[in-house]
Amino acid sequence: MGASSGPRRLSGMQKQVLALYRGFLRAARSKPAEERKQIESVVCSEFRKNSKQVDRKNFIYIEYLLRRGKKQLDQLKSPDTVGLSSLSVDSS
Amino acid sequence: MATGLIRRAISRVQVTSQAARLLVGRSHASDAKAQPVESKPNLKSFQIYRWNPDNPGKPELQEYKIDLKECGPMVLDALIKIKNEIDPSLTFRRSCREGICGSCAMNIDGCNGLACLTKISSDSESTITPLPHMFVIKDLVVDMTNFYNQYKSIEPWLKRKTPAPTPGKEIPQSKSDRAKLDGMYECILCACCSTSCPSYWWNPESYLGPAALLHANRWIMDSRDEYTQERLDAINDEFKLYRCHTILNCSRACPKGLNPGKHIQNIKRLELSS
- Yes or no: say if B47 and B61 are a contact pair by the CB < 8 Å rule: yes
Q: Is A60 in contact with B143 (Cβ distance < 8 A)? A: no
Residues in B touching A64 (Cβ below 8 Å): 53, 56, 135-137
What is the distance in angstroms between the Cα of B255 and the nearest Cα belonging to chain A? 29
Strands B105-108 and B111-114: antiparallel
| Of the partner residues B56, B59, B137, the one whose CB lies closest to the CB of residue A58 | B56
- pLDDT score at B36: 63
What is the distance in angstroms between the Cα of A1 and the nearest Cα belonging to chain B? 36
B78: CB partners within 8 A, 6+ apart: B46, B66, B71, B72, B120
Encode pLDDT of A54-65 as tens digits. Answer: 888 888 899 999
Confidence of residue A91 (pLDDT cuts 50, 70, 90): low
Pick the residue from chain B with its C-alpha nearest to A70: B145
B237 φ, ψ (degrees, to nearest 5) = -130, 145
Question: What DSSP designation does B83 have?
Answer: I
Residues in A touching B49 (Cβ below 8 Å): none
- Yes or no: say if B261 and B248 are a contact pair by the CB < 8 Å rule: yes
CB contact, 8 Å: A71 with chain B?
Answer: yes
| Of the partner residues B56, B143, B145, the one whose CB lies closest to the CB of residue A60 | B56
- Yes or no: say if B71 and B64 are a contact pair by the CB < 8 Å rule: no
Number of neighbours of residue B226 by Cβ within 10 angstroms: 13
User: For each of chain B's 274 residues, which pLDDT tens digit applies?
Assistant: 444 444 444 444 444 444 444 444 444 555 555 556 667 888 999 999 999 998 888 999 999 999 999 999 999 999 999 999 999 999 999 999 999 999 999 999 999 999 999 999 999 999 999 999 999 999 999 999 999 999 999 999 999 999 999 998 999 999 999 999 999 999 999 999 999 999 999 999 999 999 999 999 999 999 999 999 999 999 998 999 999 999 999 999 999 999 999 999 999 999 999 8
- pLDDT score at B37: 64
Q: Is B135 in contact with A63 (Cβ distance < 8 A)? A: yes
- pLDDT score at B9: 46
CB contact, 8 Å: B164 with chain A?
Answer: no
- pLDDT score at B30: 53
B114 φ, ψ (degrees, to nearest 5) = -90, 130
What per-residue string of b and e applies to A44-68 under the rule 16 or more CB within 10 Å gives b? eebbeeeeeeeeeeeebbbebbeee
Q: Is A60 in contact with B59 (Cβ distance < 8 A)? A: yes
Q: Is the ipTM beyond the 0.95 threshold? A: no
Pick the residue from chain B with its C-alpha nearest to A91: B54
- pLDDT score at B64: 95
Question: Of chain B residues 133-162, which have a CB less than 8 A from chain A?
Answer: 135-137, 143, 145
Question: What DSSP designation does B32 have?
Answer: G
| Of the partner residues A58, A67, A91, the one whose CB lies closest to the CB of residue B143 | A67
Q: Is B59 in contact with A67 (Cβ distance < 8 A)? A: no
Q: How far is residue B145's CA from residue B206's CA, in Å, rounded to a whole number?
A: 14
Residues in B touching A61 (Cβ below 8 Å): 53, 56
- Nearest Cα neighbor of B131 from B150, B114, B153 is B114
Question: What DSSP designation does B109 have?
Answer: T
β strands within B34-176, DSSP E: 43-50, 60-67, 105-108, 111-114, 125-129, 136-138, 141-142
What is the distance in angstroms between the Cα of A20 and the nearest Cα belonging to chain B? 18
**Residues recorded for chain A:** 92
